[in-house]
Amino acid sequence: MAWRNRFAEGKEIIMQAFNPNKFDSLVHYVCAKGDTDKLGAIKLNKILWFSDIIRYFVKGESITGAMYIKREFGPVPRPMPGALERLKEQGRLSITDTVHYGLPKREFRPLLDPNLTDFAPDEISLVDDVMDIIINQHTAHSISELTHDKIWKLAEIGEEIPYYTVLSSSFGEIDEDDIAWAKEVITREAA
Protein backbone atom coordinates (compact mmCIF):
# COMPACT_ATOMS: atom_id res chain seq x y z
CA MET A 1 0.00 0.00 0.00
CA ALA A 2 1.19 3.53 -0.81
CA TRP A 3 0.45 4.91 2.67
CA ARG A 4 2.40 2.07 4.23
CA ASN A 5 5.41 2.91 2.07
CA ARG A 6 5.17 6.59 3.00
CA PHE A 7 5.52 5.79 6.70
CA ALA A 8 8.07 3.03 6.11
CA GLU A 9 10.24 5.52 4.21
CA GLY A 10 10.02 7.91 7.14
CA LYS A 11 8.16 10.64 5.25
CA GLU A 12 6.27 12.93 7.55
CA ILE A 13 2.83 14.29 6.91
CA ILE A 14 3.31 18.05 7.15
CA MET A 15 0.64 20.63 7.85
CA GLN A 16 2.38 23.74 6.64
CA ALA A 17 1.12 27.19 7.41
CA PHE A 18 -1.20 28.85 4.94
CA ASN A 19 0.68 31.23 2.66
CA PRO A 20 -1.77 33.92 1.44
CA ASN A 21 0.66 35.41 -1.10
CA LYS A 22 1.33 32.01 -2.63
CA PHE A 23 -2.40 31.23 -2.66
CA ASP A 24 -3.21 34.54 -4.37
CA SER A 25 -0.43 33.94 -6.90
CA LEU A 26 -1.76 30.47 -7.69
CA VAL A 27 -5.31 31.77 -8.16
CA HIS A 28 -3.92 34.49 -10.46
CA TYR A 29 -1.86 31.92 -12.40
CA VAL A 30 -4.81 29.58 -12.96
CA CYS A 31 -7.00 32.48 -14.07
CA ALA A 32 -4.28 33.78 -16.41
CA LYS A 33 -3.52 30.41 -17.97
CA GLY A 34 -7.06 29.01 -18.11
CA ASP A 35 -9.33 29.48 -21.10
CA THR A 36 -11.81 32.20 -20.05
CA ASP A 37 -14.62 30.47 -21.93
CA LYS A 38 -14.06 27.19 -20.05
CA LEU A 39 -12.87 28.40 -16.62
CA GLY A 40 -15.38 29.57 -14.04
CA ALA A 41 -15.49 29.60 -10.25
CA ILE A 42 -16.34 25.90 -9.90
CA LYS A 43 -13.44 24.75 -12.08
CA LEU A 44 -11.08 27.25 -10.43
CA ASN A 45 -11.94 25.84 -6.99
CA LYS A 46 -11.50 22.26 -8.20
CA ILE A 47 -8.14 22.96 -9.84
CA LEU A 48 -6.85 24.29 -6.52
CA TRP A 49 -8.42 21.39 -4.57
CA PHE A 50 -6.99 18.65 -6.76
CA SER A 51 -3.58 20.36 -7.04
CA ASP A 52 -3.32 20.70 -3.26
CA ILE A 53 -4.55 17.20 -2.37
CA ILE A 54 -2.51 15.44 -5.06
CA ARG A 55 0.61 17.28 -3.90
CA TYR A 56 -0.26 16.39 -0.31
CA PHE A 57 -0.80 12.74 -1.20
CA VAL A 58 2.47 12.48 -3.14
CA LYS A 59 4.78 14.77 -1.13
CA GLY A 60 3.13 15.00 2.29
CA GLU A 61 2.48 18.72 1.94
CA SER A 62 0.09 20.82 -0.12
CA ILE A 63 1.05 23.64 -2.44
CA THR A 64 -0.75 26.47 -0.63
CA GLY A 65 -1.67 25.23 2.84
CA ALA A 66 -5.20 26.57 2.25
CA MET A 67 -8.02 24.98 4.23
CA TYR A 68 -10.94 23.67 2.18
CA ILE A 69 -14.55 23.65 3.24
CA LYS A 70 -17.54 21.67 2.02
CA ARG A 71 -19.88 23.61 -0.23
CA GLU A 72 -22.78 22.49 -2.38
CA PHE A 73 -20.64 22.01 -5.49
CA GLY A 74 -17.66 20.40 -3.73
CA PRO A 75 -14.63 21.54 -1.73
CA VAL A 76 -13.83 25.26 -1.86
CA PRO A 77 -10.71 26.98 -0.50
CA ARG A 78 -11.71 29.03 2.55
CA PRO A 79 -9.48 31.97 1.49
CA MET A 80 -10.90 32.19 -2.06
CA PRO A 81 -13.22 35.21 -1.57
CA GLY A 82 -10.42 37.26 0.02
CA ALA A 83 -7.93 36.23 -2.65
CA LEU A 84 -10.25 37.24 -5.49
CA GLU A 85 -10.95 40.58 -3.80
CA ARG A 86 -7.21 41.27 -3.31
CA LEU A 87 -6.38 40.33 -6.91
CA LYS A 88 -9.14 42.63 -8.13
CA GLU A 89 -8.06 45.52 -5.85
CA GLN A 90 -4.42 45.09 -6.93
CA GLY A 91 -5.43 45.34 -10.59
CA ARG A 92 -4.19 41.84 -11.32
CA LEU A 93 -7.56 40.31 -12.21
CA SER A 94 -10.90 41.36 -13.65
CA ILE A 95 -13.94 39.42 -12.44
CA THR A 96 -17.26 39.45 -14.24
CA ASP A 97 -20.47 37.61 -13.37
CA THR A 98 -22.20 36.40 -16.53
CA VAL A 99 -24.55 33.68 -17.79
CA HIS A 100 -23.25 30.59 -19.57
CA TYR A 101 -25.77 28.12 -21.06
CA GLY A 102 -28.45 29.69 -18.88
CA LEU A 103 -26.46 29.28 -15.65
CA PRO A 104 -24.50 31.87 -13.66
CA LYS A 105 -20.78 31.88 -14.38
CA ARG A 106 -17.93 33.94 -13.00
CA GLU A 107 -15.32 34.91 -15.60
CA PHE A 108 -11.73 35.80 -14.74
CA ARG A 109 -9.50 37.88 -16.97
CA PRO A 110 -5.88 38.53 -16.06
CA LEU A 111 -4.76 42.16 -16.19
CA LEU A 112 -1.12 41.44 -15.33
CA ASP A 113 1.18 38.46 -15.76
CA PRO A 114 1.25 36.13 -12.73
CA ASN A 115 4.33 35.93 -10.51
CA LEU A 116 5.56 32.35 -10.05
CA THR A 117 8.68 32.99 -7.94
CA ASP A 118 7.15 31.28 -4.87
CA PHE A 119 6.59 27.98 -6.71
CA ALA A 120 8.81 24.99 -7.38
CA PRO A 121 8.76 23.82 -11.01
CA ASP A 122 7.09 20.52 -10.03
CA GLU A 123 4.28 22.45 -8.29
CA ILE A 124 3.47 24.42 -11.45
CA SER A 125 3.79 21.27 -13.55
CA LEU A 126 1.22 19.55 -11.34
CA VAL A 127 -1.14 22.53 -11.53
CA ASP A 128 -0.76 22.59 -15.32
CA ASP A 129 -1.63 18.89 -15.56
CA VAL A 130 -4.65 19.30 -13.28
CA MET A 131 -5.79 22.37 -15.23
CA ASP A 132 -5.56 20.55 -18.53
CA ILE A 133 -7.75 17.71 -17.30
CA ILE A 134 -10.34 19.83 -15.50
CA ILE A 135 -10.63 22.59 -18.11
CA ASN A 136 -10.56 20.39 -21.20
CA GLN A 137 -12.17 17.13 -20.07
CA HIS A 138 -14.85 18.30 -17.65
CA THR A 139 -17.83 20.57 -17.39
CA ALA A 140 -18.44 22.46 -14.16
CA HIS A 141 -21.12 19.88 -13.36
CA SER A 142 -18.97 16.80 -14.06
CA ILE A 143 -16.00 18.04 -12.00
CA SER A 144 -18.32 19.04 -9.18
CA GLU A 145 -19.84 15.54 -9.18
CA LEU A 146 -16.37 13.99 -9.14
CA THR A 147 -15.59 15.81 -5.89
CA HIS A 148 -18.75 14.48 -4.22
CA ASP A 149 -16.78 11.53 -2.92
CA LYS A 150 -16.71 9.76 0.44
CA ILE A 151 -14.75 12.59 2.08
CA TRP A 152 -17.19 15.27 0.88
CA LYS A 153 -20.23 13.21 1.87
CA LEU A 154 -19.00 12.76 5.44
CA ALA A 155 -18.56 16.50 6.02
CA GLU A 156 -21.35 18.98 6.76
CA ILE A 157 -21.86 22.06 4.56
CA GLY A 158 -19.38 24.68 5.80
CA GLU A 159 -17.22 22.13 7.63
CA GLU A 160 -13.45 21.97 7.01
CA ILE A 161 -12.12 19.04 4.99
CA PRO A 162 -8.62 18.28 6.29
CA TYR A 163 -5.97 17.22 3.76
CA TYR A 164 -5.26 13.97 5.57
CA THR A 165 -8.75 12.70 4.76
CA VAL A 166 -7.53 12.03 1.23
CA LEU A 167 -5.36 9.26 2.70
CA SER A 168 -8.42 7.37 3.89
CA SER A 169 -10.39 7.82 0.71
CA SER A 170 -7.81 6.36 -1.64
CA PHE A 171 -7.40 2.92 -0.22
CA GLY A 172 -9.41 -0.24 0.06
CA GLU A 173 -10.47 -2.01 3.19
CA ILE A 174 -7.89 -2.78 5.86
CA ASP A 175 -6.94 -6.45 5.70
CA GLU A 176 -5.06 -8.84 8.00
CA ASP A 177 -1.71 -7.95 6.39
CA ASP A 178 -2.30 -4.27 7.15
CA ILE A 179 -3.13 -5.06 10.78
CA ALA A 180 -0.05 -7.28 11.16
CA TRP A 181 2.14 -4.55 9.66
CA ALA A 182 0.69 -1.91 12.03
CA LYS A 183 1.25 -4.16 15.07
CA GLU A 184 4.85 -4.75 13.96
CA VAL A 185 5.50 -1.01 13.62
CA ILE A 186 3.90 -0.26 17.00
CA THR A 187 5.94 -2.98 18.70
CA ARG A 188 9.17 -1.79 17.06
CA GLU A 189 8.51 1.86 17.94
CA ALA A 190 7.60 1.03 21.55
CA ALA A 191 10.91 -0.78 22.08
Q: Within a domain: residue 2?
A: no
Does the residue 66 lie in any domain? Answer: yes
Residue 2: the pLDDT is: 39
Burial 28-53 (b: 16+ CB within 10 A, else e): bbbbbbbeeeebbbbbbbbbbbbbbb
DSSP annotation string for 63-116? SS---EEEETTEEEETTHHHHHHHHHHTTSEEEEEEEETTEEEEEEEESSPPP-
CA Rg value for the chain: 18
Q: Please indicate, yes or no, if residue 182 is contained in any of the structural domains.
A: yes
The boundaries of the domain holding residue 57 are 10-190
pLDDT, position 48? 97
10-residue stretch averages of pLDDT, the chain, 191 residues long: 41 68 97 92 96 90 93 94 97 91 88 96 96 92 85 85 74 66 72 66
Counting the structural domains of the chain, the total is 1
Report the predicted TM-score, pTM, of the whole model to 2 decimal places. 0.80
Instruction: Look at residue 4 and tell me if it is in a domain.
Output: no
Inside any domain, residue 3: no
What local confidence, expressed as pLDDT, does residue 49 receive? 95
Q: What is the pLDDT of residue 154?
A: 79
Q: Is 115 domain-assigned? A: yes
Residue 1 lies in a domain: no
Rounded to whole angstroms, the Cα distance separating 138 from 131 reads 10
Q: Is 160 contained in some domain?
A: yes
